[in-house]
Structure formats: structure tokens, C-alpha cells
Structure 1
């Protein structure tokens, strides 16, 4: 099974300015806006990859390892065919689920959810997002059907 990089999250102090950069300088499009209890920002895309530009509203949702006001790379997201299989592969290789962030954000391995992604621990402590559905704005995104 091949797993594809489809999503990158950048913690941003100014998501409006960051989105403006991607749209005006790189010619990307805004695929969506985020305004939840956890973050404010945008999803921008070139049609192949989705980048979330997020200003986190609370540390538990971002992950407690990120200091208040952190900006920079936050996590990488990979689209997979079978989320249960990929989570098992992570765990069998010694990379644990990020239950702290999954609980804080209300995430899980439920492919019927709008936000059907699951946070895992990756190499060098980089947070990894896995999803069967993928991310809005990418060619392989699978919109919720019901």
C-alpha cells in the first residue's frame, strides 16, 4: 500500500497574510476557511496538496509540545486507503497515536466524520496526520457522502 503526502499544516501568527502569500505570489486557491474552537485559518491548495495555515486557539489542540504563539511547521498529512491498517503500521513500528491531540480536537479513525483524520507520532517527533478521505482542494479528496 502506498501512502501519499497530501497535507501540511503551518502554525501561523497571521493566517490572512499567509493565505495572501499563497494566493497572490504562488497562484494557489483558498479551498476553505477554518474557524473552530481549536483554530482559525485557511486551507490553500494547488490542486495536488492542501496546506492548512492555522492560528491555534489553545495548546491542547495544537499539542502541548508547541509553546504558546508557536509558528512554523506543525504536521504533515498522508492520505491512505485503510486508516486502521496505517495506524497499526505506525504502532507496530513504535510510533504511537497522539491521543492527547486526537481527544482535544475530537478526531478519530471514523471515515464518516467531516474531519476524518487521525494524529500519530512520526519520526523526529513530527506529528503525522493520516486520513482516508484526504483534504479539501486536492484531486484525491473524498467528500463526505451522507
Structure 2
């Protein structure tokens, strides 16, 4: 069967601090800010392959999201160009006090390598290099 879709156009994430989350993507990861919508408010960022819409939280959540007990985004996986990019990202995250769940490591024995961190709003983000 032929798929009727063609991959992800964008991912929308609700964040606690819009500017801080935008800086995570633009300043730490080198993404580009594509646009802003001050009325919503939202900031749109892209690495050239995928766009992420960062939406400002309107009300404080009554319960923080827990990937083990809530329905929703378990994590966002972002592909990196090569093995060294994964290490550079890890170094930048550590240097900027971003919570890292685990450092770059082989996935299921490799050659795939990945790492996991939490963005400033606590959203779990995986960086993954699929191997040679």
C-alpha cells in the first residue's frame, strides 16, 4: 500500500518559557528562527529538515507530564549528521546545564548511537546518529 502522507511537516510543543526554549534550539543547536506569532504567542524554529512550533504555555499544568503515566509525547527524536555531532551536542548541553538523561551510547549494540536530554520545559529529546 502506498502511504498517503510524506513525513512530518512540523512538531508543535507547548513550552513553559518561550524564549528559553527557542534559545535551546537556536543558540545551542544552531537552528534558525523562522517566524514568530506574538498573538498566540509562538516561535517557529527549523534545522532545515523539520520545523518545531514552540507554543507558550497559557496556564500552569496541574500535573507535570510523565512519559510513564500520561498519554502524549514520549520523546522527540532528532537525527544528527554524524557521530561527532552527537558528542558536540552532549558537550554543549552539559556546558549549559541542560539535564542529560544519558550521554551518547550505542543503541542495542550499535552502530546506532544516541543520547537523551530534557529541554528547558522538561520535554524529553533524543539525539540519534543512525550509524555508517
* TM-score of the aligned structures, taking structure 1 as reference length: 0.37
Q: More helix by proportion, 1 or 2?
A: 1
- From the CA coordinates, give the structure whose radius of gyration is larger: 2
* TM-score of the aligned structures, taking structure 2 as reference length: 0.41
Higher relative contact order (CA 8 A, sep 6+): 1
